[in-house]
Amino acid sequence: MGCWILNEKLSVLLLVVWLGLNLYLFIDTFHWYEDEDAYLYTRIMLGSALAWARASATCLNFNCMLILLPVSRNLISFLRGASTRCGGALRRQLDKNIVFHKMVAYGIAVNATIHIVAHLINIERYHRSQSKEAGELQNKLSALGKNSHESYLNPIRTYETNTTEEVLTTIAGVTGVVITVALILIMTSSTELIRRSSYEVFWYTHHLFVVFFIGLIFHGMGQLVRGQTPQSLLLHNVTYCKDHYLEWEKATQCPLPQFSGNRPVAWKWILSPVVLYICERIIRFWRFRQEVVITKVVMHSSGVLELHMKKSGFKMEPGQYIFLQCSSVSQLEWHPFTLTSAPEEEFFSVHIRVAGDWTAALFKAFEAEEKAFRELWMLPRLAVDGPYGAATTDVFHYQVSVCIAAGIGVTPFASILKSIWYKCCNPSTVLTLQKVYFYWICRDPSAFEWFADLLSFLEAKMAEKGKNDFLSYHIFLTGWDESQATHIALHYDDKMDVITGLRQKTFYGRPNWDTEFKQLAENHPSNSIGVFFCGPKTLSKILQKMCNSYSSADPRGVQFHYNKESF
pLDDT (average), residues 307-321: 88
Side-by-side strand order, sheet with 348-353? 292-299, 304-311, 348-353
pLDDT, tens digit, 9 for 90 and up, residues 448-477: 667 777 777 777 777 777 776 778 888 887
- CA angle, residues 196, 317, 525, in degrees to nearest 5: 90
**Would the pLDDT of 87 be above 60?**
no
Highest mean pLDDT among 77-91, 130-144, 268-282, 326-340: 268-282
In a domain, 475, yes or no: yes
Query: 534: Cβ–Cβ under 8 A, 6 or more apart, which residues?
Result: 392, 404, 405, 406, 409, 410, 411, 412, 413, 564, 565
Residues 364 and 513 in one domain: no
Phi, psi (rounded to 5 degrees) for 560:
-100, 125
pLDDT (average), residues 87-107: 81
What average pLDDT does the structure give for the chain? 83
pLDDT the model gives residue 20: 96
Which secondary structure element, helix H or strand E, spans residue 211, and what is its range?
helix 209-219
Residues 89 and 55 in one domain: yes
Residues 533 and 470 in one domain: yes
Q: Where residue 306 falls among pLDDT bands split at 50, 70, 90?
A: confident
At 363, which CATH number? 2.40.30.10
pLDDT the model gives residue 66: 94
Q: Kindly report whether the peptide bond that precedes residue 387 is cis, defined as omega within 30 degrees of 0.
A: yes
**Would the pLDDT of 2 be above 50?**
no
Give the range among 58-62, 94-98, 152-156, 273-277 with minimum mean pLDDT.
94-98
Residues 246 and 316 in one domain: no
pLDDT the model gives residue 103: 93
* Residue span of the structural domain in which 328 resides: 290-388
Last residue of a domain, one of 255, 278, 301: 278
Residues 462 and 557 in one domain: yes
pLDDT (average), residues 42-47: 90
Domain count, the chain: 3
In a domain, 190, yes or no: no
Residues 314 and 274 in one domain: no
Name the percent of the chain lying above pLDDT 90: 21
Which of 118, 121, 120, 130 lies closest to 155, judged by CA? 130
**Would the pLDDT of 64 be above 90?**
yes
pLDDT the model gives residue 488: 54
In a domain, 219, yes or no: no
**Would the pLDDT of 536 be above 80?**
yes
pLDDT the model gives residue 22: 96
pLDDT (average), residues 84-109: 79
pLDDT the model gives residue 175: 92
In a domain, 255, yes or no: yes
Residues 264 and 395 in one domain: no
Residues 23 and 139 in one domain: yes
In a domain, 55, yes or no: yes
Highest mean pLDDT among 39-53, 134-148, 237-251: 39-53
**Would the pLDDT of 178 be above 90?**
yes
